[in-house]
């Protein structure tokens, strides 16, 4: 990707307004699905208490006179996180900075640009790790008349009841439930007759995420509206853009219990506070101020039983 040149920042006509047009994702949900968890070390072990023991009734609990108490125990295992470093740099050439007539502070624009790249990278990594089949306790693929785009045959309310019941039976609770989905799945939910029917005498028929969540028995629904450019990069100055959704037509029901969440983005806080750090330095060899953003991360499914995934919700 080509960098701005003097010709890009010197305008043919004088700037008579403080308006500038830019583009940036505004709805990132990676932190909802896998929130950042700062850690003091690059790699580490976290304990996992064996679920079986905490839900099994112990026989012979009755104590006789002068008798002993039934002794019980629990098991424990562990998993490991191991972060990798990612980061980006953006140079600001001295002549470009001096010739700038855009009205914007280019150093601030560089920081905003790098932050957008980092957020996009985190969004993509979390979606790739946690919004797929085979990583949660249950994954069910919808097909044919079960898909929510089939308004006559599908029943998303029953689907959610199944997911919530399954999670409760897996972890002993079904509280603080969040639905995470892409825009295509939410569009069909918001238009689904079974959901609209719940509000037909009380609402205007325009279904918000909060209204849909209430019908489905969820605390909230977070819709992943973020996009990425999937077009092949062309020569500098040549437009090359194809917008595509990052979050597919899946729907994840995710619980949060008192002892943890289903997924985390582990961040090694090497010399900064999570989730990332922005710094700058001078490179006199190329007469540029360099802005850098960096972090150390590992996206982990910490408890598969906290989630239930529906796949291919839309035909």
Residue 263 near residue 234 (C-beta atoms within 8 A): no
φ, ψ for residue 300, nearest 5 deg: -130, 140
pLDDT at 236: 76
Over the stretch 53-84, which tens digit does the pLDDT of each residue have?
A: 999 998 888 998 989 999 999 999 999 999 99
At 15, the pLDDT band (50, 70, 90 cuts) reads low
The proportion of the chain whose per-residue pLDDT surpasses 90, expressed as a percent, equals 79
The yes-or-no verdict on residue 7 having pLDDT over 60 is: no
Q: What's the whole-number average pLDDT of the chain? A: 92
φ, ψ for residue 179, nearest 5 deg: -100, 130
Domains of the chain: 26-47+77-230+240-311 (3.90.1690.10)
Over the stretch 196-223, which tens digit does the pLDDT of each residue have?
A: 999 987 777 689 999 999 999 999 999 9
Q: Tell which wins on pLDDT, 5 or 20.
A: 20
| C-alpha–C-alpha distance, residues 113 and 168, integer Å | 42
Mean pLDDT of 71-100: 95
DSSP state letters, the chain? -PPP-HHHHS-SS----S-----------HHHHS-EEEESSSEEEEEEE-HHHHTPPPS--PPPTTPPPPP----EEEEEEE-EEEEEEEEEEHHHHHH--SSS-HHHHHHHHHHHHHHHHHHHHHHHHHSSTTSSSEEEE--GGGSTT-TTT--HHHHHHHHHHHHHHHHS---S-EEEE-HHHHHHHHH-HHHHHTTTTTS-S---HHHHHHHHT-SEEEE---EEE-SPP-STTS----EEESS-S-EEEE--BTTB-SEEEEEE-SSS-SS-EEEEEEEGGGTEEEEEEEEEEEEEES-GGGEEEEE----
What are the C-alpha distances in Å from 51 to residues 54, 158, 171, 305, 307?
6, 27, 8, 10, 15
| C-alpha–C-alpha distance, residues 132 and 168, integer Å | 21
The yes-or-no verdict on residue 238 having pLDDT over 90 is: no
Dihedral of CA atoms 258, 262, 263, 268 in degrees, nearest 10, equals: 30
pTM above 0.85, yes or no: yes
Over the stretch 122-175, which tens digit does the pLDDT of each residue have?
A: 999 999 999 999 999 999 999 999 999 999 999 999 999 999 999 999 999 888
* 214: nearest Cα among 203, 228, 227: 203
| C-alpha–C-alpha distance, residues 274 and 37, integer Å | 7
| C-alpha–C-alpha distance, residues 169 and 136, integer Å | 14
């Amino acid at each position: 990707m080509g960098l701005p040149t003097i010709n890009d920042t010197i305008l043919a006509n004088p700037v008579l307004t403080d308006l500038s047009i830019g583009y940036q994702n505004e709805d990132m949900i990676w932190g909802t699905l896998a929130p950042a968890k700062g850690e003091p070390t690059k790699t580490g072990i976290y304990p996992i208490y064996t679920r079986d023991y905490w839900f099994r009734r112990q026989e012979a609990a009755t104590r006789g006179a002068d008798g002993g108490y039934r002794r019980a125990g629990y098991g424990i295992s562990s998993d490991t996180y191991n972060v990798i470093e990612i980061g980006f740099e953006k140079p600001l050439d001295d002549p470009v900075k001096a010739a700038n007539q855009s009205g914007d502070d280019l150093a601030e624009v560089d920081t905003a640009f790098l932050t957008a790249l980092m957020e996009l990278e985190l969004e993509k990594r979390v979606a790739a790790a946690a919004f797929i089949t085979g990583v949660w306790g249950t994954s069910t693929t919808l097909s044919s008349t079960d898909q929510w785009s089939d308004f006559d045959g599908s029943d998303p309310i029953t689907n959610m009841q199944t997911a919530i019941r399954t999670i409760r039976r897996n972890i002993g609770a079904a509280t603080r439930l969040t639905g995470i989905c892409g825009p295509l799945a939410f569009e069909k939910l918001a238009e689904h007759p079974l959901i609209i029917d719940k509000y037909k005498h009380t609402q205007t028929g325009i279904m918000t995420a909060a209204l849909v969540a209430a019908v489905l028995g969820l605390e909230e629904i977070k819709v992943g509206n973020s996009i990425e450019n999937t077009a092949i990069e062309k020569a500098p100055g040549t437009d090359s853009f194809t917008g595509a959704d990052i979050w597919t037509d899946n729907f994840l029901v995710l619980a949060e219990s008192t002892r943890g969440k289903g997924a985390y983005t582990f961040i090694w806080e090497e010399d900064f506070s999570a989730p990332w750090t922005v710094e700058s330095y001078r490179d006199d060899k190329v007469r540029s101020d360099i802005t850098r953003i960096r972090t150390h991360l590992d996206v982990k499914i910490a408890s598969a039983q906290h989630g239930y995934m529906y796949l291919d919700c839309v035909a």
